[in-house]
Amino acid sequence: MLLKNTVRFNKIITFEEFQHLKHDKMTTLSSLRFTGMALSVSALLFTSCQSKKAENSEAAADTVAAPQKKLPKPKSEPLVTEIYTADPSAHVFNNKIYVYPSHDIESGIPQDDLGSHFDMKDYHILSMDSIGGKVTDNGVALDIKDVAWAGRQMWAPDAAFKNGKYYLYFPAKDKKDVFHIGVATSTSPTGPFKAEPSYIPGSYSIDPAVFTDTDGKSYMYFGGIWGGGLQRWKDGKYDSAGSKTDLGKDDQPAISPRVALMSKDMLTFSGPVKEIKIVDEKGNQLLGKDHDRRFFEASWMHKYNGKYYFSYSTGDTHFIAYGIGTSPYGPFTYQGVILNPVVGWTNHHSIVEIKGKWYLFYHDSVLSGDQTHLRSVKVTELKYRPDGTIETIDAYYK
């Protein structure tokens, strides 16, 4: 059975041609128009199948469709193919690898620039003993129906271990349709997790990433513009009438990701939310117009040789980029690209050391035939140059 909203092309195009189309500011598939080609979105008529939608949604959501167009040959295969997974946060707990991803589903919601079609409702945690080994899907670890404050859209999560407990951090929209970040706890790295009654006070936007430093202090990095709504927050206050994209001020500093020190119990912030500066080699903050380098979403922090590496997605230009600093609060000096664009609109990652080697976990949409909201988590080795910079990774064969 084919998934709903399967994209069909009347003409096969190359990946390079499609990448060019992806960089158009009109990002939704429904808005693409180009000479010599008709792009159509094939979707079931939802008005005629609403009565069957609830009964069939779970099966349809995880059905893997065959690719419909010519795609590049990937260097890595999905960790699992039974379900769609994305936004991987990888960790090593008790010498075992755990991946905390989003669980992509087909909910039939039309695509838009706010990400409404990313309508995830639960989390599945993956585990494996080694890279390349058997991967286990441990089932549902947390469902949105068990989160009292959440309304919809359980996006990219992260996890941490401290105080003999495992903590799952997750963004979701509240009952007023505004993103905040929640936390749930468990005695097992695979759950089930029990959510706190409300979201973390002072939290907002999306993509939490929790980093514990060598001194034992933990920090949460978060934020995302456009659908993540970070552009609507100023001084901890939300402007419902704010921009749908960014500040709209190209010659001013770009919107900054956020960081906050975590409390000892890992359930709240113990310090103020601070803005992170990403700067160029001259120390100047990256500008709003610098779409190839400025922050969009997908924060991640890791430490290598005593320095702090803050990595992130550039969003509408589809790179995973990074900066290096000497403090967990930054500033971080831009260094370059870790991962080039992948099949699908989004790019999201994590970086972890496993048995003396470093790995990049990421996702793409090859398995679903480039349906951007149906992605699959992958992993590849990450390598450093002698000067500490990271070699750029291309996920596909030329």
* Cβ partners under 8 Å of residue 352, min gap 6: 90, 91, 92, 97, 302, 358, 359, 361
Confidence of residue 161 (pLDDT cuts 50, 70, 90): very high
Distances (CA, A) of 195 to 73, 137, 147, 166: 40, 21, 6, 12
pLDDT higher than threshold 90 for residue 59: no
Residue 211: domain span:
75-382
- CA dist 90 and 98 (Å) reads 6
| pLDDT tens string 279-306 | 999 999 999 999 999 999 999 999 999 9
Distances (CA, A) of 153 to 115, 253, 340: 9, 29, 27
Largest CA distance in the chain: 61
Q: In what order do the strands lie in the sheet with 258-261?
A: 209-212, 218-222, 258-261, 274-275
CATH of the domain at 147: 2.115.10.20
In a domain, 255, yes or no: yes
Q: Which of 259, 261, 321 has the alpha carbon at shortest distance from 286? A: 321
In a domain, 93, yes or no: yes
- Can you read off the two tokens belonging to residue 293? 């380098």
Give me the chain's average pLDDT, please.
Answer: 88
* Cβ partners under 8 Å of residue 188, min gap 6: 166
Q: Is the dihedral of CA 292, 281, 298, 355 positive or negative?
A: positive
Total domains, the chain: 1
Q: Look-up: residue for tokens 């946060």? A: 89
Q: What is the model's pTM?
A: 0.86
Q: Which of 296, 172, 283 has the alpha carbon at shortest distance from 224? A: 296
Beta strands 237-238; 258-261: pairing state: unpaired
pLDDT of residue 345: 97
Active-site residue set = 87, 297
In a domain, 198, yes or no: yes
